[in-house]
Chains A and B, each alone.
Chain A
Amino acid sequence: MKSEVISWFRIQEMFRFDSFHMYGIIGVAIAVGLISIQLIKKFNVKDLSGNPITIPPKDPKQVTRYIVGGSMFGLGWALMGACPGPMFALIGSGLTIIIVPILAALAGTYTYGLLRDKLPH
């Protein structure tokens, strides 16, 4: 919220390559995540309940789902200007109309569940 990544305007700026802001945040977040995951793996860090931390790999052979699904997500992201996390943050800020895109996103998720077996992955 304080970094304005939840702002429709910031997303417009990002897709127009007019500001470094969003790239800076995503880039630094990935760098911090990457270093910490490497450290966790190197030192075999366990979680609070004592279980070894494992990260399930995603199957890179399913290229279609990532390209087609990813592009659909991108179309929606540029239109509505919020990805799933920011939608909920915007609700918290008191913007009630965001209920509509959240319900639409639930409908989208449900439709995917219905069509899943018929879609190429």
Chain B
Amino acid sequence: MYIWFRITTQSKTQTLSLTRMFDFLYQPWPWYVAGPLVGLTVPLLLMLGGKMFGISENLRHVCAACNIGNVSFFQYDWKKNGAWNLTFVLGVILGGFLGGFLFANPNPIALAESTVQDLMALGITDFTGFVPNDLFTWSALTTPIGWIVLVLGGFLVGFGARYAGGCTSGHAISGLSDLQLASLIAVIGFFAGGLLMTYVIYPIIF
């Protein structure tokens, strides 16, 4: 009786821990799990190759690879400077496949109720995915708001990142980790623009 009890409880805990592991892969990760992982990218890249974590440089590398019109800003050896970073992007894409497709969380994101209310007031109806399906579809390109969000938004991200010399990874994470004043100014700029968009421009364009 005792042995039977031991075996059943043991196998139960084993299946339990296995399900737990799978649950962990499918469930969203809290900030205290994701934050350290993102932060560890900084020392890892520094120690592996003396490189500073920064994604938006890759947009410049792609422009350098095509360099139509021989713009001086894109005249450099992109393979020598950017091969590691472009490889990093391939890793990001693979990570997106694993986390967002293979082990995708089946439930909608647990958003703050006040944000949901605000967005519903702006006309967002679908909260099931990573992005609002009302705006992030190919058919959205037939509407002005689709162009504003996808095309103008993307353009500003690309232009602004290079003008500011870095994006969220380069300035907010790498730059602030290295206590660089320039990065602090840039991050204040990121929030100035973001808040202006959220509180002033959103009510106008939606």
Contact B185–A67 (Cβ < 8 Å): yes
Within 8 A of B (CB), among A42-100: 45, 47-49, 51, 53-60, 62-63, 65-85, 87-98, 100
**Whose C-beta in chain B lies nearest to the C-beta of A32?**
B39
Contact A66–B182 (Cβ < 8 Å): yes
A100–B147 CA distance with the chains assembled, in angstroms: 9
Given A9-B127, A69-B165: A28 in contact with B96 (beta carbons within 8 A): no
**CB neighbours of B168 from chain A (8 A):** 26, 77, 83-85
**CB neighbours of B180 from chain A (8 A):** 57-58, 60
**Whose C-beta in chain A lies nearest to the C-beta of B187?**
A70
Contact B193–A75 (Cβ < 8 Å): yes
CB distance from B103 to the nearest CB of A (A): 8
Contact A110–B71 (Cβ < 8 Å): yes
CB distance from A119 to the nearest CB of B (A): 7
Contact A89–B100 (Cβ < 8 Å): yes
> How many B residues touch A, CB cutoff 8 Å?
116
**CB neighbours of B55 from chain A (8 A):** 83-85, 88
CB distance from B175 to the nearest CB of A (A): 7
Contact B34–A70 (Cβ < 8 Å): no
Contact B111–A13 (Cβ < 8 Å): yes
Among B38, B71, B192, point to the contact of A74 (Cβ < 8 A).
Answer: B192
A39–B197 CA distance with the chains assembled, in angstroms: 39
Among A25, A78, A112, point to the contact of B34 (Cβ < 8 A).
Answer: A25
A8–B108 CA distance with the chains assembled, in angstroms: 13
**CB neighbours of B71 from chain A (8 A):** 110, 113-114
Report A's interface with B, CB cutoff 8 A.
1-10, 12-13, 15-16, 18-34, 36-37, 39-40, 45, 47-49, 51, 53-60, 62-63, 65-85, 87-98, 100-114, 116, 119
* A to B CB contacts below 8 Å, 22 in the list: A1-B95, A8-B131, A9-B111, A27-B35, A33-B43, A36-B46, A40-B43, A54-B50, A69-B161, A73-B163, A74-B197, A84-B167, A85-B167, A88-B55, A89-B95, A100-B141, A105-B158, A106-B62, A109-B162, A112-B73, A113-B60, A114-B73
Report B's interface with A, CB cutoff 8 A.
27-36, 38-40, 42-43, 46-50, 52-53, 55-56, 58-60, 62-63, 68-69, 71, 73-74, 89, 92-101, 103-105, 109, 111-112, 114-115, 118-119, 127, 130-132, 135-138, 140-141, 148-169, 171-183, 185-198, 201-202
